[in-house]
Structures are given as C-alpha cells and as structure tokens.
Structure 1
C-alpha cells in the first residue's frame, strides 16, 4: 500500500534534487534527530500541565502517564534539565513509538494533527542541519557569527527545535546559519515620510527623501512578493551577511548586526518587528545601558543604532552593535547556546563560576526592576584569555519585563513610550521572565543535566545577595514556558507556564 509522504521523505526528495551528495548523510542522521525531538517532547509530556494527562506515576523502571481516556504512556525517567537525545522510544498501551510525529498522531488529543506535522518537520530539518554541518576546526572561531553557526540543534528544550515551515530544502541550506551560508540582503527604498524611525538610521541606507530597508530574501520572495529581494545598493554591490542563530538576524561585514523582518514561524511563533518595538527601540537602548551601568561592569548591553518600519511589521529592520565591541584583546564573546561546543561546561568549577556571574547579574537587575529574557540566544558571555567568564553581554531588549515600583525604590525613572506588555509590577511575572529564561534556559542548557545544574547552583548560591527573589529561586518550583502546551493551545494568547522540580533539590527525592 502506498504511504502518504512525510516530512522526512519530502526533505529527502528535495535534497536529491538540490544537494544529492547529502542524501546518505541525511538518512544516517534521521534516527538521532527523531530521538532528539522525542526527548524534548517527552520532557513536555512529563512536566507540563496538559489537560488530557490525568496523573503521572514514577517507578523504578521509568515514568507512566495515565491519560484521561484510560490509556497509558510509558517512558524513561524525565530529567527536565537534560539536553541531548536520551529518549529513543516510548510505549503507548504497549506499542512502541520512536517517531515523535507518529506518537503525537496516535495520541489524537486536541490540535495534535498540526503539532504532529510540526514535530515531523522539526526532526527532518534537524537531520538536514546535522547532515550539512562541517567538521569544526580545533581552534575557536575568530568572529561572532562563526560562534552562532556552531549551534546546530537549535533550542535545547523545544520539540520544534528545528521546525521551519514554509522553507524549502534549498532555502534552509541557503539561509540556515548552521549551514554556513552568506546571505545577500535586498535593499528596498521607501518614502521616509511614511516610516516609523527610531535612533539614527545610517547615511549609507538613505537616499533623498527615502530610507533603504534591508530585506531578507525569504521575506522578499514569500511575503513582499519581490522575487530577488528588492534592489541592490547604488553601484550594484551586493550586501552580504552571515545569518545568526535567530535566522532573521545577520552580521554585516563591517560588524553591525541587522534584524530583518521574517514573517515565518520559528519554534513557537511568528517573530515580526512590531511598529511599537521600532518606536521604543532607542528609548530601550538608552535604558538598557543605564541599568547595565549599575552592575559594576559585569553586564554590557548591545546598543540599537537605528530602527525603521515602513508602515508594516513585514517591512522593517533594526541595526544594532555587534557584541564583539565589548571584547578586549584576547577575549572572546560567545553566545551561551554555543558554550557546549567549547568543552568548558564539562568542568564543574567553570560551570559554577559561570552560574555565579549569570545569577549575580540577573538578580541584581531583577532587584532594580528589570527582568531579562536571558536565554541562550540573547545572553552572551565574554571569556578571558584563560577561558574563564569575565562579564556578560545582553542583546535584543524587546522582551524585557520592567517593574515601575521596583525602579522607583531605586530612583530609576521609568522610560516613556514602552509597549504596555513590557511594564508590570507583578512579581510572579518578573520572576518567571528571568528564572524561566536564565535558569531553566541558559544555565540548564549549558549544564546539560539536572545533577550538573544543581552542582553549579550550589556553587554559586553562597556568593549571591540574600533577596526575596533569591529566596523564591531557592524554595519554589522553577517556572518555565510550557512549550508543548503552547503548541497544543493555538487559541490561547501569550505564554503558558509549567513548574519544574526545583533544580537545587534535583534527585533528592
């Protein structure tokens, strides 16, 4: 009987046309990619408040999920802080499933059909990413974008870690940072009178009466319908750029980074550049610098140089500093998501020092009233010549949460013109933002397991100031975004949350 095509077979068929030499490597990477996605899915099933799971039962041989319809789903013990691919199969009423898409299809819960398709795309794209990666040289990269391109597997905990719906195989190879491409940005001139502008838009992107907006070629072809990506700068010189982890953000040859509009769903949501975020970008940049100055040099924030939106989130761009500008001679600036490629986190002492630095900065800003979205993509660490962490760099201020009451207690004025979603005095919201991203994201992803995270935190905590926020971190479950629940709840706006076992008590029973 003829089986309908799957994401895996569709990628294989396209790959046979555009890059036939990668087909054998792609096929060889598929089992590991399925396990990596299944591991992330199992984490969500084991720990998130999914309404169709009646109860969870832990035994010597693993974890059993009792579904509301009477079925039972069995798998290994789920370390909520583990990365990698330790789940190769689970059993649903005795039937073995090693393919996360097939498992989700068989579960047949509300909205599972769409999510199953996303899981299939994630596994297939992850296999493609692994197949296309180059062997890493022994020496560390010299440029910031080279570090970014070392991150092959995407989000360490999201089941849709590599899901890129709307991207053909040729487009993934051409635009995915893990494939090491150079992307030629289009330049679209627009009347200045109709633009929202913040900061100082540079002269080289201006014409008389018009601003020139860098446009990602995928956006040009699929959203703006400008096949070819707009027009090139005067003289016909291309604008080459190196894609970063965020895919839509690229490093220009002379150093600055440009965030382009890319109206595609990556992991959970479509990430556009809203008119409000463009309007607030300069104010946020100044504010970020001001609060970072209160960390005694432990944190620097990349400045927004300019932002523009041509009347729509679909045609917008933000220029900001490269994090490299905050490295002294002999130092390197490394995205936290890329730390695992250095081997440094394998040292408990190094991991403890990094946790101490990150928590010192995060808790100090939280006390001031600023909660960072400090996940492994937004947060970077400056490594000294000996490899030790010396300071942090933070980029992309659009997802901060800011507490006016806390700011007022410390004599810090609340910036004007901020989007309403950023401003709150709800302590739970502020703590969720920081703890979920920093501890449940950056530190957990770097540690790679619950025991390693626990050891790093135990090393760091004695050196941290005793604040109510630290007490909450020590005593309460750890809030993290419920990534699986969010994909199965398309009608619910905003973030949803899960509570993970407190990492400081991990394994203590």
Structure 2
C-alpha cells in the first residue's frame, strides 16, 4: 500500500521530534559539563549514573562522563528528567544561589545556542561536506567547546542571517572586495597577500571583507560609501571556507587564511579584531616565529603576517593575513583540526584501526615539546588549545607534525607573570587539549592508560614548572559558566582546581 498523507505527516513529526531531541542532547552536554565542573559536588558511588549535589541542595544525576546526558533532578521523592529548557532554568536558579547575582541575558544565549544547533543539524542534511579531510575537520564541530554554556550562540540573530557563513553547515562563499582610499588605509606587517587577491583602482587599496560583517555594520559604513572613502569592487572569483573559528576563512586557491572581525558574541567575546590586539600583533608574532625557527623540529607556526583596515572603521573592517598550510606542512602529512579528533568527523583517524598507545605517544611527541620549548626557551605562551592546534597525520593516521596558530591568543612572559603564563599554558595544553584527546581515545580503547606516557612527554630538564606539574594534585580548569554569569571580561580567565590525572600515574622507565 502506498504511503498516505497521514503517513507522511507522522514521518515528518517523527523526524522533527528526533531533530529536536538531538539538538537538546548536543546543547545539554557542554552546559552540563560546565555546571558539574564549576559548582556541583560529586557524591560517592559508582554506576551508570553519577550523582551531584547542587549549590541549593538539590541532587542531579547524569549518564556518561565526557558527554553527560539524560539529566535528572531529584524532587518530591523521585527523579525527574530535564529537557534543555528545564536544564537552563535549573542552571540559572543554581547560579543565582551560588553567586547572589542574576544574569538574564545568559539563559537567553543558552537557548539561542540550542536553537542554532537545531538549525545547523537541519542545514547539514541538505549540505555537501567538503571532500578535503582538513576542511571536513574544520567544519565538524556541532557541539563546539565542550565546557561552555552556549558554545553555538550566534548573537540571537535569525538562522537565515548566519547559516550562509556557518562552518558547521559546510558553508563556502566568496569574499566581498572593497577599495579603501589611500588616505584612509591603516596597516602593519606584510599585506602583499591581500593585494594578490584582485586589482584595486588607482588611489585605493584592496580590502577583502566578510559579507556577514558587512551586513552587521552596514549603517555605520554607509557614510564612507557615500563619500568615496570606500568603494565596492565585486567579489572574489573563488570561494573561501569558514574554519572552526567562524570569522577565519581558508582560501585554498591562494594558500591563505584570512581572519576578520565579526560583531557577534561567540562563546565569551564579541569577535572583533580589537585595536589593542592588532597593535601588539607584530611583536607577538615575531616572538613566536623565532621560537619555532629555533626549535629545529617538525612543528610549525602559521604566522599572522599583517593586517589592513580603514582608519575610520579600524576594528570593524580589519582583516588579518595568515600563512597557509603548504609552506609548512611535511610531505605526505594530512592536517586535521585537533578539536575534530575529539568531537568526531568522517575520516577521524581515531575511528580507524590503530595501536592506541603508539598513536597517543606520537600525538604527545608532536604537540607537547614545541609548547614547552617556546615557554622555557623563549618566554612564549602558546594558546595550544584544541581549536588552535592542527595535527598532521600520515597515511596510517599517525601524528607526524603539529601546527599552531593565532598570535592574538599568545602571551609573552615579558607582559605577564611567569606563574600566570604557566597556568594559562597548562590550561590550554593539558586541560583543554591533552585531557580531551585522551578522553576521546580511551573512550574507544578503554584499556589504555594515557597518563604514564603524558608524564614522560611533560618532562623537560631545566623547567621546574613541568616537574611540579607531574605531582601537583590539581590542574587549572577555566570556569566559562561562572565567567559569563558574573560578567567578567572574556580575557580574564578564572580557574578552579581539577583533579590531576598525572599525579596518580606511575613513572615508566
């Protein structure tokens, strides 16, 4: 019997319900991770569900560890399942009790993040993933930051405004080409890669622009278009691919990355290229470039060569030119975003046949030494978290090279105290990177103990901080939920102690 209209309606309703449940699950996991790490107290006991006491005294239980799911709260003598909306309400109540503060905007961001996930999931059904495994890895992150209350919030705008530029929806798009009049150009560093994108008319310099940012800033830029300080020159003759950072795009045809401002809050901050960061960029990038050049190893730094903008819209129109991959990648290596190894994607080497201990040791050997050497020998604190780390793998999926990026997040010990710099490095490299990759690997290979090998990798003569790290009872974990709830500046990282698995691991000789 052929399907009827009623059958189609039921199938549609079932698909919609499945999509809503999947969006709830994606959005709930990072929010739960924050709540459990930052304010909840685990209760003794083992089993398929872990139980926590919340600041107000209520009990919450969840299934799973890395991706907690199926949250239930204990009230009226029994356990009640929490959907995402109920979880957001519970989090707001508990944070109000814990801090004595209210923050009505953050729950709205949590709901926006969930709705963005739903829109992304629906868009991916209709989209075609890129064939290039590197681009697939950059565009894989539906969950995103595993410890953020609203990792996929897009500023509250309708999906139609941002889906065309969303990496998670496998977007690709041309850039808008502007001309900025010579007397209004502001730039520093090597910007020749921008001039190579297209010709500019006499008296103007080429300024590529992100089309979403142009939409966001249209009213403010209207006078400059009217008086000729800005002119429109069309669009690029090639597509660019948004990376996991959203505002940074990859132009494979030119072997170039371009980073733009976006006047949208994404995770903790409005994603502008701020003037104070741009003005110190050359000093920071030069220090990192020298550190990697001195290392002599396979690790590479994707340099932020220079920026160009308009003096009358310095932050709004800023664009940063970053090295591409070809000049740094070892022959035969396939670069992959480290964050995608953790979240998963089609082509993830962790899903293939591998010796987990050998793979993990290879990962550690590529990722850890460059970060420790930069700190110990050059006073450079890499922001070596999962989204700033690319790991190149050989044909067998074994790590053979690490590539780091984003000078904006780098700190120099001349500008920050050594203790603060080391804390930041440990958070980025160990907590945000190694703990997460180890968790993804041991989830697939439960018999693996990753920490003896990690202890060996984190050994560096002449670096007392590394020696202390291997016996410290705790590690610093960034408190993104409390940071956002209390209205702290996104750059003002706050940490809470996290049990250190390195301290319990035996040394292997």
* Shorter-chain TM-score range: 0.7 to 0.9
Distance in structure 2 (CA, Å) of the matches to 1:91 and 1:377:
33
- For residues 288-314 of structure 1, the C-alpha deviation after alignment (integer angstroms, 9 at most, x for no partner) is 221012322232111223311323211
The correspondence of residues 355-504 of structure 1 with structure 2, limited to 5 A, is: 355-368=364-377, 369-404=379-414, 423-427=415-419, 429-448=420-439, 455-463=449-457, 464-466=459-461, 467-476=463-472, 477-491=474-488, 494-504=492-502
Aligned-residue offset at 1:207: 4.4
TM-score, reference length from structure 1: 0.80
Structure 1 pair 136–360 and aligned structure 2 pair: CA distance change class (3 A): farther
- For residues 217-268 of structure 1, the C-alpha deviation after alignment (integer angstroms, 9 at most, x for no partner) is 12111223369x986537x655531111111111123221111111101112
Tell me what 1:410 maps to: none
Tell me what 2:80 maps to: 96
1:147 and 2:140 are equivalent in the alignment: no
1:315 and 2:303 are equivalent in the alignment: no
Tell me what 1:178 maps to: 168
1:117 and 2:108 are equivalent in the alignment: yes
Distance in structure 1 (CA, Å) of the matches to 2:382 and 2:417:
15
Aligned-residue offset at 1:389: 1.2
Distance in structure 1 (CA, Å) of the matches to 2:315 and 2:298:
34
Bigger shift: 195-204 or 299-308? 195-204
Tell me what 2:8 maps to: none
The correspondence of residues 178-217 of structure 1 with structure 2, limited to 5 A, is: 178-202=168-192, 203-204=195-196, 206-217=200-211
Aligned-residue offset at 1:56: 5.1
CA contact (8 A) 2:120 2:168 kept: yes
CA contact (8 A) 2:284 2:410 kept: no
Structure 1 pair 182–343 and aligned structure 2 pair: CA distance change class (3 A): closer
The correspondence of residues 254-273 of structure 1 with structure 2, limited to 5 A, is: 254-273=254-273
1:224 and 2:233 are equivalent in the alignment: no
CA contact (8 A) 2:382 2:411 kept: yes
Structure 1 pair 481–264 and aligned structure 2 pair: CA distance change class (3 A): same
Query: Equivalent residue of 2:300, what SS?
Result: strand
Tell me what 1:289 maps to: 289
CA contact (8 A) 1:302 1:394 kept: yes
Distance in structure 2 (CA, Å) of the matches to 1:135 and 1:474:
48
CA contact (8 A) 1:26 1:131 kept: no
CA contact (8 A) 2:128 2:170 kept: no
- For residues 460-493 of structure 1, the C-alpha deviation after alignment (integer angstroms, 9 at most, x for no partner) is 3225324322223222211121011112111556
Distance in structure 2 (CA, Å) of the matches to 1:172 and 1:23:
26
Distance in structure 1 (CA, Å) of the matches to 2:309 and 2:206:
10
Tell me what 2:147 maps to: 157
Tell me what 1:326 maps to: 328
1:75 and 2:74 are equivalent in the alignment: no
Structure 1 pair 328–450 and aligned structure 2 pair: CA distance change class (3 A): closer
Aligned-residue offset at 1:141: 4.5
CA contact (8 A) 1:367 1:469 kept: no
The correspondence of residues 34-45 of structure 1 with structure 2, limited to 5 A, is: 34-45=24-35
Structure 1 pair 358–329 and aligned structure 2 pair: CA distance change class (3 A): closer
Distance in structure 2 (CA, Å) of the matches to 1:502 and 1:164:
34
Distance in structure 2 (CA, Å) of the matches to 1:195 and 1:489:
39
| 2:362 corresponds to which of 346, 353, 359 | 353
Distance in structure 1 (CA, Å) of the matches to 2:333 and 2:126:
24
Distance in structure 1 (CA, Å) of the matches to 2:84 and 2:505:
27
Q: Unaligned stretches of 5+ in structure 2?
A: 1-10
Distance in structure 1 (CA, Å) of the matches to 2:416 and 2:134:
34
Q: Unaligned stretches of 5+ in structure 1?
A: 1-20, 405-422
- For residues 194-225 of structure 1, the C-alpha deviation after alignment (integer angstroms, 9 at most, x for no partner) is 33311122234654333232221121112233
Distance in structure 1 (CA, Å) of the matches to 2:454 and 2:136:
30
CA contact (8 A) 2:137 2:340 kept: yes
Distance in structure 1 (CA, Å) of the matches to 2:64 and 2:375:
30
CA contact (8 A) 1:372 1:399 kept: yes
| 2:349 corresponds to which of 319, 344, 349 | 344
Distance in structure 1 (CA, Å) of the matches to 2:30 and 2:504:
19
CA contact (8 A) 2:187 2:309 kept: yes
Aligned-residue offset at 1:137: 9.8
- For residues 168-217 of structure 1, the C-alpha deviation after alignment (integer angstroms, 9 at most, x for no partner) is 21233211012122223222322333333111222346543332322211
The correspondence of residues 230-241 of structure 1 with structure 2, limited to 5 A, is: 232-233=232-233, 238=237, 240-241=239-240
Q: Aligned residues, how many?
A: 456
CA contact (8 A) 1:33 1:124 kept: yes
